[in-house]
Amino acid sequence: MALQQPIWNPTLPFTGPILGGLSEGKMVIIQGQVRYPVKSFVVNLVCQNGDIAFHFNPRFSEGHVVVCNTQQNGRWGPEQRVCNIPFQPGVYFEIILNVKSHCYQVSVNGSHFLEYSHRLPFHLVQKLFVNGDITVNCINFAGSAPPPYAPPAYNVVTATNVGGMFAQPHFVQTSISRKQKSKNAQGFSGVTLANPTVPFCAAIPGNFTEFRKIAIVGNVPFLANRFHVNLKNSMTGNIALHINPRFKERVLVRNSFINGAWGSEERHGHAMPFTPSQAFHMEITNLKNNYRVIVNGQVVFDYTHRIPSRQVDQLEIAGDVTLSCVQY
C-alpha cells in the first residue's frame, strides 16, 4: 500500500489523488468543521473515468438527511438516505470511510454511522473530491488503523449535544482490546476526546511516564492572541512544560513554573508553527531527558526536564484555540 502524507487545511473544492488507489482495509479520514450557516457538503470517491463510486452528501436544507449514491456514465443510481444527521453547524467532526470487501463503512466521530454496498469495484477509485459548507483541517489515509491523533472506534469520548454545541464530553468505559494495547505501545493510554471544550483540564492516567505521548488536534481562530498547553502536577501546581504560542509577538514561548515562580523562558528555535485560521496537529513525547514537541509532522523543539516528568499527572489547554481531538 502506497504511503501518503496528510493534507493540511486544503482549499475547497478539493480534488486529490489517492496514492495506490483503494484496497480492502484502507481508510480515508477527513477532519473538519461544519460552517454556519450550512446547506450541504459532499465527499466523493471518484474513478479514473469520472464515475463516482461513492457519493456521501449530508443535506441540512432537506430535513437533515445524508444522501449516498453512485454515478455511472453520467447517471445517478437510486439514492440511499439516512436520517438523524450526525453533524451540527459550527461543530468539529471526523469522518472515516473504511473500505470493506462488500461495502464502504462510514464512521462519524468514532461511532458507526452507515454502510454503503459497492456498486462499482472499489479498486477503480483513484481520486477524492470534497466540497461544500465545511472547513477541512486534515485529510489522511491509513491502512488497518487510524493515525495516532484520530479518534479510533474504541474507548472513544465524544462531545454530547446536550447543553449546546460544545458540551462536556461523555465518558464511555470499555474493556481493553488488542487494538488498545497496540495503541498503548505507541505511547497513548487509550483515552480519546472528541471536540472537548476550552479551557480543558484532564488527569493523565498513570502519570506522564517515559515514552508516553499526548496528541492535540485543533484550530487557531483568526483573531487569536495566544493559547497555552501545560503539563502540570495537580498537587503542587508546578508546571513541568508550558507551551505558549503568542501571535502578536510571533514567538513560541516555553517555560516551567516551579514552587510559585516562573523559570527562564526559551524562545529560540524554528519559526512559529501555528497560524491563525489554520488547523494543527501537535504531539508531545516524553523522552528520557526532555520533551519533544512535533507540530504538523515537524520537530519544533526539545525541552529539557526541569522537574521529574513522573510528577506530571494533569494536562491543561486554554486560550485562543478550539479543539477537535485530544489523545493521551
Q: Is residue 149 a part of any domain in this protein?
A: no
Q: Mean pLDDT of all residues in the chain?
A: 83
Instruction: Look at the chain and report how many structural domains it folds into.
Output: 2
**Residue 150 domain-assigned?**
no
Distance CA 196, CA 77 (A): 39
Question: Are residues 74 and 186 located together in one domain of the fold?
Answer: no
Q: Is 160 found in the same domain as 137?
A: no
Q: Which residue has the cell 449535544?
A: 161
User: For residue 228, what are the contacts with CB-CB under 8 A and spacing of at least 6?
Assistant: 242, 243, 244, 245, 316, 317, 318, 319
Domain match, 113 and 240 both: no
Q: Are residues 47 and 182 in the same domain?
A: no
Question: What pLDDT was estimated at residue 187?
Answer: 56
Residue 2 lies in a domain: no
Residues 241 and 317 in one domain: yes
**Residue 271 CB neighbour total at 10 angstroms:** 8
**What is the number of other CB atoms lying within 10 angstroms of the CB of residue 236?**
13
Q: What SS3 state is found at 19?
A: coil
pLDDT tens by residue, 5-34: 788 888 999 999 998 899 999 999 998 889
Average of per-residue pLDDT across 85-103: 91
- Type and span of the H or E element at 180: helix 178-185
Q: How far is it, in rounded angstroms, from Cα 95 to Cα 182?
A: 22
192: its cell numbers = 480519546
Q: Please count the CA atoms within 13 angstroms of the CA of 224 that sit on its side-chain side.
A: 24
Residues 68, 174 within the same domain: no
Q: What is the pLDDT of residue 111?
A: 83
Phi, psi of 185 (to 5 degrees): -65, -20
Domain around 35: 7-142
pTM of this structure? 0.54
Cβ-Cβ contacts under 8 Å for 245 (sequence gap 6 or more): 220, 226, 227, 228, 251, 252, 253, 272, 274
Confidence of residue 92 (pLDDT cuts 50, 70, 90): confident
Q: Would 198 be classed as within a structural domain? A: yes
Query: Tell me: the pLDDT tens digits for 130-149?
Result: 999 999 988 888 874 444 43
H and E: helices and strands count for the chain: 1, 27
Could you tell me if 89 and 213 lie in one domain? no
Rounded CA gap, 153 and 128, in Å? 23
Please tell me the distance from the alpha carbon of residue 120 to that of residue 5, in angstroms, as a whole number. 27
Confidence at residue 269, expressed as pLDDT on a 0 to 100 scale = 67
Query: Tell me, what CATH number does 50's domain have?
Result: 2.60.120.200
Shared domain check, 79 and 203: no
